[in-house]
Amino acid sequence: MKTHKQPGKLKSALLDWLGVPIELTTGTFWQEWMGRSSSGKVVSAEKAIHLSAVWACVRLLSESISTLPLKIYHREADGSRKVALDHPAYKILCRRPNLEMTPSRFMLMLVASLCLRGNAFIEKKMIGAKLVSLVPLLPQNMVVKRLDNGLLQYTYTDGNGERVIPIKNLMHIRGFGLDGVCGMMPMKTGRDVIGSAMAVEESAAKIFDNGLQSSGFLSSEQPLNEDQRERLRGYMASFTGSKNAGKIMVLEGGLKYQNVTMNPEDAQMLESRAFSIEEICRWFRVPPFMVGHADKQSSWASSVEGMNLQFLTNTLRPMLVNIEQEISRCLLDSDDDLFAEFSVEGLLRADSAGRSAYYTTALQNGWMSRNDVRRLENLPPIEGGDIYTVQLNLTPLEDLKQNSQAAQAKQIKALHSYLFPDIPFEQSPLNKAA
């Protein structure tokens, strides 16, 4: 956020928004925005992403959703649906959101904003009443305020200064929140957990920087004057750091060095770092084994298909529904017959056995044709592949009884023709017996 443009108005807006008396120039505002954790670390999205667990969770969620096909459908009168290829929003969302982004990159940035900042803002660029592009905005540059008339006001700050974006030109996707205005920022709400992880990582790095040697102390029987202290500091500097590990130190003037020992496991703080990973995964609702943390046996599922299904149901599905409904609300006007939907079958494509069983069940029960299956597998249609078939052994019992009676009558007629070729079947003794 640029603070040098119209400082009076910007500061007033920030004070109204936060409701606390703070100054922009003292650093208090930035601590209040994201928050200083109990460990003393100032937590922000830019700093938290340096943690491997945060990086892995955000990448997993954003890349998983960005690879799912997104389509806009029109609901037909018979209950079926048809892809709305001619709708302007389909061409923008599913082909090219703007001049610089593919649909995958656009969705990746949108989900990453939701994960790190709790909100995603997309500006709708219009020519008249026609939608021509969607431009994602930086959530940290947006100020949302409830006006006296009950409407929301969106003020965005960029290199050109402040500008108010009309609600009709903005799509605001909110993460989990309590007020219905904005989603809660994970970096602010979970600042103590993330700040502790940052402190542990920094402590481990500092120990390695010192050559896996913890700090010790020098003792002297005589007090040192200021000149001796300065000389000693410069002398000690040449023996600290991993690049100076192994050097022999010569102590003079009766100085004695006493080291505080630390074993390698304590130096790496393995337990604290492992616990930090699990805590961060809880905030993002991501199973730890999916970000490479496999210290403990997973109790999610016993197969890859089961893990993917639970990850889809418990983690991705709430985000997918949130995005789908905001697209329908903001881009599809008030047409109840149009809706957006992600195709989640893409998450199970890696399980060939599961896909094969799914397609077999669909074909045998007649709710998919062979060409329907081939389209899902990106194969061309075949002649006669649009016929819906069912297994013969699933025929209802009443139909089997009728078929049996018909076959029996046919056999009797054939026997009559052989035994009594000159007598009509109505006068045949076989007909009377039947």
The rounded distance, in Å, linking the Cα atoms of 236 and 216 is: 12
- Token pair 């402040």 in the structure block, residue: 162
Mean per-residue pLDDT of the chain: 76
Run of H or E residues at 207: helix 191-209
pLDDT tens digit string along 226-236? 777 777 776 66
Residue 364, both tokens: 């045998």
* 390-395 mean pLDDT: 67
pLDDT digits (tens, 9 = 90+) for 26-36: 444 444 445 56
Residue 14's pLDDT band (boundaries 50, 70, 90)? very low
> Which residues have C-beta within 8 Å of that of residue 119, sequence separation ≥ 6?
113, 139, 142, 172, 173, 174, 175, 182, 183, 185
270 vs 74, higher pLDDT: 74
| Confidence grade of residue 399 (pLDDT, cut at 50, 70, 90) | low
Each residue's pLDDT tens digit, 273-321: 777 888 888 888 898 888 877 766 555 556 666 777 788 888 999 999 9
Percent of the chain with pLDDT over 90: 17
Query: Which range, of 137-141, 199-203, 240-244, 407-411, averages the lowest pLDDT?
Result: 240-244
In this prediction, residues 267-277 reach a mean pLDDT of 67
Q: Which residue has the higher pLDDT, 30 or 403?
A: 403
Long-range own/partner contacts, residues 246-250 (CB < 8 A, 24 or more apart): 246/211
pLDDT of 187 reads: 77
Look up the pTM and report it.
0.65
- Residue 411 burial (10 A CB sphere; 0-12, 13-18, 19+): exposed
Mean pLDDT, to the nearest integer, of 140-157?
A: 90
